[in-house]
């Protein structure tokens, strides 16, 4: 969850998504949501959801 305009509040993420050149290309060059994809992979590895991403 995001904080307010002053930067207060929010939740510190447990898992960081590397925003490297490959992630940048996926997000802006291919229009993919790399954060959502990482979350689905993490939840799938934990056995919480099926990891089918179109």
How far does the chain reach from its first CA to its final CA, in angstroms? 25
Does 32 reside within a domain? Answer: yes
Q: Which domain holds residue 45?
A: 15-54
- pLDDT, tens digit, for every residue of 1-54? 567 777 777 777 788 888 899 999 999 999 999 999 998 888 888 776 666 655
Output the pTM of the full model: 0.62
Nearest by Cα to 16 from 35, 32, 44:
35
Residue 9 falls inside a structural domain: no
In a domain, 2, yes or no: no
Number of separate domains in the chain: 1
Residue 42 within any structural domain of the chain: yes
């Amino acid at each position: 969850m995001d904080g307010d305009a002053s930067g207060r509040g929010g939740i510190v993420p447990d898992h960081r998504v590397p925003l490297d050149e490959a992630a940048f290309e996926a997000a802006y060059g291919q229009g993919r949501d790399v954060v959502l994809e990482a979350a689905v992979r993490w939840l799938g590895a934990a056995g919480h959801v099926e990891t089918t991403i179109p």
